[in-house]
Amino acid sequence: MPRYRLILAYDGTKFHGFQSQPQLRTVQGTIEQALVKMTKGRSVTVFGAGRTDAGVHAQGQVVHFNFPGNIPPRNMMLALNSLMPLDVVIKDCTIVPETFHAQFSTVGKRYGYRVSRTRFTDPFKRFYTGHYPYQLDLDRIRAALPDVVGTHDFTSFAASGGVIKNKVRTIYTATMTDRPEEDELYFEFIGNGFLYNMVRILVGVLLEIGNDRRPVAEFPRLYAAKDRQEARITAPASGLYLQEVYYTDAALQAAVTARQHTTAKD
């Protein structure tokens, strides 16, 4: 059976996350239901690169599945898009070798986080950004961001209760873009892997640094503390976007280099 890889975007607002759950609307379940229609009843299991939570969005989620039938990728994409609800779109479809695995073949991921700074919640952004209406010294955040980059034990930045023991991850780029016309900040992180809720906790701490509730040099202390209670705040799911998943070192390196140039320009 050929193995297909999809790149998809979805608005996470009305999904109970990516991963299939009985009786609940999920992204994985939505794709699997469409595939069952195409196979006339044979079930197909979909594997995703990362399990986004309820309310978390994706511009570049990647999934793979084996399909009992040989459909050209272009036709597979058209057929699936015709079966997708309006909050999911398949952006790319290719046939990949059997050795490809959406989750285990990854070498890195890029996550984005949008923060709206309007005084009151902007009605058009409530599902698509976090919201931080308080005073921020952006230079304090800029000074702290380099501490996020590197190989660290992110125990303080992982939601407790996970089964993953090794909490050491490497972050290649951590950037913040000020978007004053939209009254927004945009955070972006590229890393070799991310723990559960890690980006949302990182953003929460960065905002508290900007608001002078934490020292600029907070990250080294939190890495040493290895205590989730220390980081406290988790920024809401609505601002988080899985932007891109990397499967080759070349693709990862190109993305990292592009962001380093951006940072240097700022």
The DSSP string of 121-180 is PPTTTTTTSEE--S---HHHHHHHGGGTSEEEE-GGGS-TT-S----EEEEEEEEEEEEG
Structure tokens at 179: 């978007």
Q: Does residue 111 touch a copy of itself according to CB under 8 A?
A: no
d(CA 108, CA 242): 11
> Applying CB under 8 A, which part among 85-93, 149-157, 188-196, 209-217 lies near a copy of itself?
85-93
121 binds a copy of itself per the rule CB under 8 A: yes
Cα angle 243-117-255, degrees, rounded to a multiple of 5: 25
Binding of residue 86 to a copy of itself (CB under 8 A): yes
Q: Is 257 in the site for a copy of itself (CB under 8 A)?
A: no
Residue in 182, 186, 175, 197 with CA at minimum distance from that of residue 266: 175
The tokens of 182 are what? 């939209």
Does 111 belong to an annotated binding site?
Answer: yes
Site for a copy of itself in 125-154 (CB under 8 A): 126, 128
Binding span for a copy of itself by CB under 8 A among 84-92, 105-113, 187-195, 203-211: 84-92
**Shortest distance, position 16 Cβ to a copy of itself, whole Å:** 16
- Please tell me whether residue 88 binds a copy of itself under the rule CB under 8 A: yes
Name the packing angle between helices 73-83 and 27-38 (round to 10°).
Answer: 110
What is the residue type of 30?
Answer: T
User: Closest approach of Cβ 127 to a copy of itself, in Å?
Assistant: 9
Quick one: which of 16, 25, 54, 81 contacts a copy of itself (CB under 8 A)?
A: 81
Active site residue 53: yes
By residue count, the chain amounts to 266
Give long-range contacts, CB 8 A cutoff, 24+ apart: 43-47.
Answer: 44/68, 47/101, 47/102, 47/103
Site for a copy of itself in 46-65 (CB under 8 A): 57
Name the segment binding a copy of itself (CB under 8 A); options: 62-70, 86-94, 178-186, 220-228. Answer: 86-94
Contacts of residue 139, defined as CB under 8 A and 6 or more positions apart, other chains included, come to none
Nearer to a copy of itself, 11 or 230 (CB): 11
Asked if 181 interacts with a copy of itself (CB under 8 A), we say no
Residue of 174, 159, 175, 162 whose CA lies nearest to 232: 159
Nearer CB in complex with a copy of itself: 86/264: 86
Query: Which of 11, 53, 87, 178 is flagged as catalytic?
Result: 53
Number of residues that bind a copy of itself (CB under 8 A): 17
CA distance 189 to 92: 23
Quote the least distance from Cβ 123 to a copy of itself, whole Å. Answer: 4
Asked whether position 247 contacts a copy of itself by CB under 8 A, the answer is no
Which residue positions form the known binding site? 111
Q: Using CB under 8 A as the criterion, which residues of the chain lie in contact with a copy of itself when the complex forms?
A: 9-11, 57, 81, 86-90, 120-124, 126, 128
Active site residues: 53
